[in-house]
Amino acid sequence: MFLMATSAIGPGFITQTTVFTAELGAAFAFAILVSILVDIAVQLNVWRVVGVSGMRAQELANTVLPGAGYLLSALVVMGGLVFNIGNIGGTALGANAMLGLDVKIGGAVSAAIAIGIFLSKRAGIAMDRIVVVLGALMIGMVLYAAIASGPPVGDALRQTVLPDEVDFLIITTLIGGTVGGYITYAGAHRLVDSGITGSRHVREITRGSVTGILVTGVMRALLFLAVLGVVAGGVTLAADNPPASAFQAALGEVGVRVFGIILWAASITSVIGASYTSVSFLAGFSQRLEARRNLVTVAFIVFSTAIYLALGKAPVTLLVLAGALNGLILPVGFAVILWVAARRSDLLGGYRYPRALLAIGVVVWVLTVYLGWQSLGGIAELW
């Protein structure tokens, strides 16, 4: 649950939420609500099919259409790698704001911490615990900032259901950032690895999928309120680093340190989530890789860090391309999930899939196709 949530809460999540709050004001509350409802519909279907079948997404895809699993894996790993470079950069900026460390030193030390988790003898337990602790730390820090900034809560509550402005592009961006790319499968694949599979675990699977999205939603809502209190007070956020300026305006100089802690925690948990999930797609195709999965994960982090240290940041073009690929991953992978739910009960052990849940999934899939079409436009622009 927390792996999925903290994978979604990364540097991009923090920046997007801040910028969109400054743009829409209290009306952004409606976009948050709609995105949460759509995210729940996606994760309910993905977690249930993966969890009940006990098969990872790429294994299901190859079973339904030979070769589709390799395509899905290539998209996930490519996007995960580039975003991981950005996540390492996020840890570097967070360490700099928090402790004043040089960005390259901060990025290298943060990567070493993530590597240490996967090299430990109880890597799975260590990973589960650190994402819970850091997730709770982030929420606590943002709650503190939200209270200090004094946001107009009444106006935000009203505009949650009666917004003055609706921006569908922002809503679709939020959806892609929360359940796009590797994030869609982070929690579900952890379920499979933990042995929580089969129809007898449907209740736990359902609870985990919904709670993971709600944790993400709480974090976004609190961050929204923290920034809303600042912009409603007439403060203009700095164009080069809107989140940092928002926390500084809300909390004074200590706000920069608080922002550093939040950014570092968000980034390192995203490094863990991106690395774990990307490698889970690779390891499923080889028993040798599966047996050495933690070492492959370490290699994935080392490679990401080496590129970051060599370039100083993630290349903008690659980040745009990775974002576009995430828009393609969601409809491709989700189509496989829905096909298994509708037509392949044999892969679900004879489990009778709820028709209402499937119908909601199909409606949401149409939206993901729209997102994918927008992503194709982004890829075309790069070429």
Domain ranges in the chain? Answer: 2-382
- The pLDDT, as a whole number, for residue 127 is 84
3-state DSSP percent of the chain in helix, strand and coil, to 5:
85, 0, 15
Domain 2-382 grouped into CATH 3.10.20.30: no
What local confidence, expressed as pLDDT, does residue 176 receive?
77
Q: How far is Cα 293 from Cα 277, in angstroms, rounded to an integer?
A: 11
Tokens of 116: 């240490």
**Average of per-residue pLDDT values in the chain:** 88
Q: Is the pLDDT of residue 165 over 80?
A: yes
Q: Which region holds residue 135: left if phi is over 0, alpha if psi is between -120 and 50, else beta?
A: alpha
* Rounded mean pLDDT, 264-285: 90
Number of Cβ within 10 Å of residue 356's Cβ equals 8
Check: CB of residue 20 under 8 Å from CB of residue 149: no
Over 90: is that where the pLDDT of 303 sits? yes
On the CB side of 107, how many CA atoms lie within 13 Å of its CA? 26
Q: How confident is the model at residue 380 (pLDDT cuts 50, 70, 90)?
A: low
Cα–Cα dist 322/382, whole Å: 11
pLDDT of residue 57: 94
What is the average pLDDT across 91-110? 92
Report the candidate in 243, 209, 208, 33 with the shortest Cα–Cα distance to residue 138: 243
The candidate with the shortest Cα–Cα distance to 129, out of 299, 272, 274, is 272
Which residue has 């592009």 as its token pair? 169
Tens digit of pLDDT for each residue in 202-221? 999 999 999 989 999 999 99
pLDDT at 358: 95
Q: What is the pLDDT of residue 67?
A: 92
Per the model's pLDDT, the better-predicted residue between 270 and 379 turns out to be 270
* Cα–Cα dist 150/224, whole Å: 12
Q: What is the pLDDT of residue 126?
A: 83
